[in-house]
Amino acid sequence: MAELKLFPIGLQDFSQIRRNGYYYVDKTDIVYKMTHTDRVYFLSRPRRFGKSLLISTLRDYFLGKKELFTGLAIEKLEKEWKQYPVFHLSFAGTKFTDLETLQIYLNDMLSEFEEKYQITNTNQYEWGSRFKKILKAAYEQTGTEPVVLVDEYDAPLLDTMDNSELQLVLKQEMRKLFSPLKDMGGILRFVFLTGISKFSQLSIFSELNNLKVITMKDDYAAVCGITKEELFSQMKPEIQALADNNDMTYDEACAALTQKYDGYHFTEKSPDIYNPFSLLNALSDSKLINYWFATGTPTILTRLIKKYNMDPESFDKGFPATLEMFDAP
């Protein structure tokens, strides 16, 4: 029997995945294309879809960690492996239920950068001016353009969806933080933001006039998640183990995986995309379970359905959705 892959269940750090021999679906050809096409990007994807891993991959690429990319597509594409000052701002994994929590979080994050570049903080809650000073110092001290990577930028806003007053307050704090990105555009090598939603009234969308939204672009449809081709060409032993464990034939196991975890098409010409969290858990456990839903019941969704008196059955049956629906803030 073929040896089964070591899957990185719940692990979103590219460096750890590569150093410890975990299975990695190679997306580095897309990373190279992205980093050599435009400079400022926004990508929206559902939770548990590999956004944090993508940010982590970009971080290690811009830090010039060539050894982590051995054997991957980008190894043949990249010739320079230049090292940049990277600012990785992650809002994933923290619950923002009040203003103080966000302020402490932002202060800790910026203080770490200030310490690295020997900056004295004189404006405690003025996130924009602090961040601007940090980016400028990094550029001057290294002679290299800084890179800004923001993971789950909208987490504080999603956590306060049912409290519009508090959400507005947190929105203002996030606006302050992102305000320098437009002014500093000339010295920034690359800016990449991920989130679940595209919120209006945030300076990143109204002021970053060079922001490239790739949420529904054909070229980047497969940048997160696992495509049908990747699944059926790279994971045959794991599919066979799933089949054996559930008294199925190989073809029946393939059909069951498709029925259970497929269905994502992010663009008009998108390949079939599988949720990586559900898929890797299923292949690791050799079980067909509702992994994605079990990781956190979306209570805010159920509350909003009730608030707006929506009929959940319409989602079960399906209905046409336009590009405008998804791109609207």
DSSP string for 190-213 = EEEEEESS--TT-HHHHH-TT-EE
Domain count, the chain: 2
Distance CA 276, CA 97 (A): 28
From the list 150, 41, 147, 45, the residue with the least C-alpha distance to 92 is 150
| 35 and 118, same domain (yes or no) | yes
* 300 belongs to a structural domain: no
Distance CA 128, CA 174 (A): 9
Distance CA 87, CA 84 (A): 10
| 206 and 277, same domain (yes or no) | no
Distance CA 62, CA 55 (A): 11
pLDDT digits (tens, 9 = 90+) for 4-56: 899 999 899 999 999 999 999 999 999 999 999 999 999 999 888 999 999 99
Distance CA 196, CA 31 (A): 20
Structure token pair of residue 4? 């089964």
* 13 belongs to a structural domain: no
Confidence of residue 329 (pLDDT cuts 50, 70, 90): low
Higher-confidence residue of 260 and 183: namely 260
Distance CA 150, CA 32 (A): 18
3-state secondary structure of 127: helix
* 245 belongs to a structural domain: yes
Domain range spanning residue 234? 226-294
Domain end call among 181, 203, 220: 220
Average pLDDT estimate for 70-86: 97
pLDDT digits (tens, 9 = 90+) for 105-152: 999 999 999 999 999 988 889 999 999 999 999 999 999 999 999 999
| 212 and 140, same domain (yes or no) | yes
Amino acid identity of residue 316, one-letter, is D
Contact 117, 137 (CB under 8 A): yes
